Amino acid sequence: MIILLTGCAGFIGARTAEILLESGHDVVGIDNLNDYYDPQLKSHRLARLESTKRFQFANIDIEDSSSLDRLFSQHDFDAIINLAARAGVRASIVEPDVYLSTNTQGALNLLRLATKYGITKYVMASTSSLYAGAPMPFVETADVTRPISPYAVSKLAAESLAYTWHHLYGINIAVLRYFTVFGPAGRPDMSPFRFIEWIRRGEPITLYGDGSQTRDFTYIDDIALGTIAALGIEGYEIINLGGGNSPLSITRMIEIIENNLGINAIIKMETSCDADMQDTSAVITKAFSLLGWRPKTEPIKGFEKTVVWHINNAAWLSKIKL
């Protein structure tokens, strides 16, 4: 297939693009290469993709409907994978307008163009942050109509728009709610990347809360494979992609990183944020029944691989701003 993949220089986008290319698909990737976090990471990921002939890159913002339209007119896309987003709960409280503009208006632009150009497959990234306040473990049928961060609001709106476009125009849509994705070449605003680097550099960790909060960590390769599998969805489906009821506490994550680096962490405690979730845990029965998907990489093994990547890339990672 010829696939439009937005956010191709992002953490999940780049790995998804790599696996698509390895599988023989053609990928047109777009990204606005913003500086929400250190752009060296995006340059590193993009360089890997641009070494493949079947990959084409365009520096386009999904908020720019005119530039998107021109791109769509130049290609015969079979599917859209929309992974472009502003992510992060805390930052969304500071800049809510940016989150709504990118995550909601940007999604609307893509849905409109899918209809205009007859594209019937649309996969979009959503978030486990929507489940705040729902009973654990989180199942797709939970009531998520009371989000507690602007980030979650923007994603809920994008999910709703996607359903509307499915209802009105018959587009096949898979909404993927990701659970704490981690792995090599991750995001430096997320705790796995930051904690590994802080400990490796001998700098203090900033830990919000007491470390007892848990996350259903999901390794990047598993997330990318689940995202690609979702191209086969017919109708409209919301699907959890998570570890599957095997969450780790933040304290345990720190211990695993310490053990793999052979360095003890220096921990600086800070008060948690009201928009942070205490625990996350995914029910992934639907992912298995519809996609044949379940995570293959246990979190402990995933952290081992991630630490090795940080050690092997220490020379340039030491320059990354955290």
197-240, pLDDT tens digit by residue? 999 999 999 999 999 999 999 999 999 999 999 999 999 999 99
Residue 272: is its pLDDT beyond 90? Answer: no
Residue 7: is its pLDDT beyond 90? Answer: yes
* CA pair distance 38, 253, nearest whole angstrom: 23
- Nearest residue to 224 via CA among 174, 181, 281: 181
pLDDT of residue 245: 66
Contact status, residue 12 vs residue 186, Cβ threshold 8 Å: no
The residue type at 298: E
What are the two backbone dihedrals, phi and then psi, of residue 43, each rounded to the nearest 5 degrees?
-65, -40
pLDDT of residue 224: 98
Residue 59: is its pLDDT beyond 90? Answer: yes
Per-residue confidence band for 244, with pLDDT thresholds at 50, 70 and 90: confident
- Domain with residue 31: its CATH number is 3.40.50.720
Note whether residue 195 is domain-resident: no
Lowest mean pLDDT among 117-121, 243-247, 260-264: 243-247
Note whether residue 113 is domain-resident: yes
Note whether residue 205 is domain-resident: no
Residues 172-199 have pLDDT tens digits of 999 999 999 999 999 999 999 999 999 9
Tokens of 251: 């304290």
Residues 14-38 have pLDDT tens digits of 999 999 999 999 999 999 999 999 9
Q: Is 93 left (phi over 0), alpha (psi -120 to 50) or beta?
A: alpha
Note whether residue 79 is domain-resident: yes
Bond from prior residue into 184 cis (ω within 30 degrees of 0)? no
List 36, 122, 131, 151, catalytic entry: 151
* CA pair distance 220, 224, nearest whole angstrom: 6
Domain count, the chain: 1
pLDDT of residue 275: 72
- Judge whether 163 counts as a catalytic residue: no
The residue type at 295: P
Note whether residue 306 is domain-resident: no
Nearest 10 degrees: CA dihedral of 26, 32, 34, 40? 40
Residues 153-175 have pLDDT tens digits of 999 999 999 999 999 999 999 99
Residues 276-317 have pLDDT tens digits of 788 999 999 999 999 999 999 999 999 999 999 999 999 999
Give residue 98's domain range: 2-182+218-244+282-296
Note whether residue 292 is domain-resident: yes
Note whether residue 164 is domain-resident: yes
Per-residue confidence band for 136, with pLDDT thresholds at 50, 70 and 90: very high
* CA pair distance 156, 160, nearest whole angstrom: 6
Taking all residues of the chain, what is their mean pLDDT, rounded to a whole number?
A: 96
pLDDT of residue 23: 96
Note whether residue 255 is domain-resident: no
Terminal Cα-to-Cα distance of the chain (whole angstroms): 37
